[in-house]
Structure formats: C-alpha cells, structure tokens
Chain A
Amino acid sequence: MVEDKLLIFRFKQGNHEALRQIYDKYKVELLKLAVVLIGNRNMAEDIVHDVFVKFAESADRIKLTGSLKNYLVTSVINRVRNHLRDNKRHSETDLDGTELLACSERGPRQWAVLGEQLTLLSNALQELPYEQREVISLRMEMDMTFRRIAALQNASVNTVKGRYRYGIARLRSLLNSEVEK
C-alpha cells in the first residue's frame, strides 16, 4: 500500500514510469473483475479503460485514505453499476443496450483475451442477481473483506454474508461438473 502511495506521489511529480507501474500492476485484476461483473468483454474493457484514463486525469486531486487497489476497484464497481442502470433504462425504451453500448472507444481491437474458464465463470455469474455477483466477485477475485464489501454495498455485514452464501450455492450448481474437476 505504501508503495502505491509512493507511486502516486511520483506520478504527481510527472513521472510517467510510476503511472506505468500502477497500470501494469492492476490492469489484469480490474479487467477480470469487470468481465465477471458485467459479462461483456467489450464493455468491461471500456469500463477499465475509462477508470484508468480518469485516474490519470484526476491524480492531482486524489488523496487516498485507503489503498489504491480499493480506490480502483470502487471506481470499476461504480461504473459497472452505472452501466447496468443505463442499460436497463435503454432496454426499457426498446433498445438492445448491450450491443449498442458495447461499441468500444478504442475501436475494434481486442484488449483482453479471455480464457475458457473465465468465459465459463463469467457466464455463470450472470445468472446471479447483481448484488450476489458483486459480493462473490469482490470476495473471490479481490480478496476483499465482508466488512469492506458491506460498506461498498451500503448493507450490513450479515446481509452481505447471506448474499455470499446464496451466491456460492447457486454458482456451485451452475458450474457443477466444472467445479468438481
């Protein structure tokens, strides 16, 4: 965590190598998180791209009280939620939001190449209610504590643990034979 703060400090001083180190350190984790949360590779790429660009723009104003990782994860979560809300609104107005919004700002080139298991996992997670999906992804992928997740979801720790248990049970049945391997 201290190393991250030093990296941010160096970046604020104009050191681009520090930005590169931050980017390289977190890009894969954030992409995986976005993919499992949103189930759409293109959109996940756009969200993480946007998070990093906004971070580069606003670094001077950032004053971390926690870890950089939590800051970036929260940024991804907020954008995913915004996207899902907007997507729902578009769907209600008779638009196929997923396809429309999946148009990448980076053009047609692919950034993340998903392994077979990640695709399988992401598809299974989309069968879960979003709150359960979020709890499981943050817990499993980001090793986040229930307390932090509860704060992020503005819910009690017990509620979050309940979402986790139900989500795990459902995911287990969805993945059944794959998990047994």
Chain B
Amino acid sequence: MKSADKIKQFFKNAELSIHSETDEQVFADMLHARQKIRDKVPAVPENIWRIIMKSPLTKVAVAAVLIIACLIGVLMFSQTSGVAWAIEQSIEAVSKYKAVLVEGSETFLNEDGMLQMRKQKSWAVANEDQTKVKKIRIEVDGVPTIITNGRETWRYDQQTNTVTKNLSYGTAEVWIGSRLLEQLKTFRESGLITKWEVTDSKDSATGKQRIFLTCAWLDKRYNGPRSLWLEIDRQSNLLVGLKQWENADWEGPAQYVAEKITYYENLPDELFEFEIPDGATVIEH
C-alpha cells in the first residue's frame, strides 16, 4: 500500500463523536440566528409542499409528458361515475402545480441485447401559463444527463465525459396540465385510445383507497403502440404511480416505472444549473 493510501486510511479511521447536549445547543443557536434575521424582514409567504406523483418516461422527458397526459385524459373520459368524479378532481389537483419531481426506473436493452434497468429522476418546471416545460433536470443513476434552465441546455455523457451545450433536449415540451388534458380529450373523442379499464380498490400496503387505470393505444403519431398502468390516490386525487409498456398489451417488463411523484408549486433555479464535471470536454452548439 502506498504512503498516501495508508495516510488516507488513517484519516478515515480518525474518529470524532458529538456531544449530544451541546449539539442541540448549536442547532438552537442556528435557529435563533435565523429567527433574528427573519424578524427584520417582511414575512415571505410560504410555499406549500405536497407529495404527489407523476411519471416521465425515457431519458427525454418529452415522451413522459405525453404519456401522463394520455393517462389523465383517459381517466377524464372514463364512463364510470365514481371514477369520473375522481378524474375530474385529479385534473383540478394537477393543475395547481407548476413543478414536479418524478422518481422511477427505466428498463432498456443494452448493446448486447440484454435487458437492463437504471434509476431515473426528473425535475421539471412549467412556463408561466403551464403550457410547456420550461426547465428540466434529468438524472440517470444519480448523474445529471440533461438539464435546461429555459435559456441553455446541457447534455452530459458520462462514458465519454462530454458535455454538449445548447443542443435541444427534445421536441415535445408540452406541460402536464389542463391544456394537455384538453388535447387528450380530443384523442379520446376521436377514438385514439382503444383500450381502457378503471378499477377502484384499497392499497394493501398502505390501506389507502386507490384508483387504478389501465389504457392502451396503437397510433404511432402518439408514440404508440403503448399501454399504461396508472395509480391515483383517492383522497388527494393525485397520480401516485405509473408504469408504461411499449406495446398495447401490458406485456413483459414495464419500460418505465414511476415509483414516486412529487409536485411542487415551484423548484429552485439552482436545480437547473449544470456544473461541468472535472476534465469534461464541452461541445457548444
């Protein structure tokens, strides 16, 4: 072992513990300092944070947006009276938020044709009238791969350690909201969505009442064939889970699974700023 490695190990083994009583006092000092500052400035209205869900799909957030819209659209036009009520409430609930975080996983075939899975997180903020995605950050296995702040876009390839700047991140930029739902209404009315089923039951794990929707369509213009499974919380009327297959029959492993969806009134600008990794090659368009 080299000297540096041995010393590094020595550093790691050098322990420090915290005296809990003093620890609380230090934290109390922080809160006190914070309060003093806040007392000096006008109160800022607190944003409301809520947990929700929703799901994007592939590395390009585009498809995700379309899918969700389709899901909600199907719900909206369900012919089951109880579910229809929930769907309307869901649309209303979703439209209250202009920012979202989707946490899930994506399944794909690698170069050898082997099925693989990777974790994906996507943060997105809508534009002012909630018609389009303004800012988005997509992380795959914890690595930022696509970020746009509304003015500049960065794509990062970890394998080649290359950053491509200002190359459009996708073509579809439609936000998940009432406007999209209106579009989906048109889909439904035109008979685009050919399969759908809505059930209402209790989640065995949480005991919460859920609505489950399955739907599918074939039209290639809308990324078909595609099938979806959607879970909605009955109480909040918010979408809480999503699975997507790239076939119209829910066959095989889901190509995308949204395990958790969180909606926010807004997200900090810092989230949509990209820090160029050490040694990365930057290609600007």
Q: Chain A residues in contact with chain B, CB under 8 A?
A: 1-2, 5-6, 8-10, 12-16, 19-20, 23, 27-28, 31-32, 35-36, 49, 52-60, 63-67, 106, 109-115, 117-118, 120-121, 136, 140-141, 145, 147, 168-169, 171-172, 175, 178-180
A179-B18 in contact given A59-B34, A65-B275, A147-B278 (Cβ < 8 Å): no
Given A2-B144, A19-B31, 20 other A-B residues pairs in contact with their CB atoms under 8 A: A2-B121, A2-B271, A5-B270, A6-B267, A8-B268, A13-B46, A13-B49, A14-B38, A49-B26, A52-B30, A53-B29, A57-B36, A106-B29, A109-B19, A117-B13, A118-B16, A140-B7, A140-B11, A145-B278, A168-B3
Report the nearest B residue to A104, measured CB to CB.
Answer: B22
Interface residue count on the B side (C-beta < 8 Å): 45
Of the candidates A28, A109, A140, the one whose C-beta lies within 8 Å of that of B21 is A109
Asked whether B137 is an interface residue with its Cβ less than 8 Å from the other chain, the reply is yes
Q: Which of A5, A23, A114, A147 contacts B16 (CB 8 A)?
A: A114
Given the contacts A20-B27, A113-B19, A9 and B6 also touching, CB distance less than 8 Å? no
24 A–B contacts, CB within 8 A, in A order: A1-B275, A6-B268, A9-B267, A9-B271, A10-B49, A12-B268, A16-B31, A19-B31, A28-B16, A31-B18, A32-B14, A52-B26, A53-B29, A56-B31, A56-B37, A60-B41, A106-B25, A109-B22, A112-B16, A113-B19, A117-B10, A169-B3, A175-B7, A178-B10
Interface residues of B (CB under 8 A from A): 3-4, 6-8, 10-11, 13-19, 21-23, 25-27, 29-31, 33-34, 36-38, 41, 44, 46-47, 49, 121, 123, 137, 139, 144, 267-268, 270-271, 273, 275, 278
Name B26's closest neighbour in chain A (CB-CB).
Answer: A49
Most A-side CB within 10 Å, residue of B33, B144, B268, B275:
B268
| A59 CA to B49 CA, complexed, in Å | 19
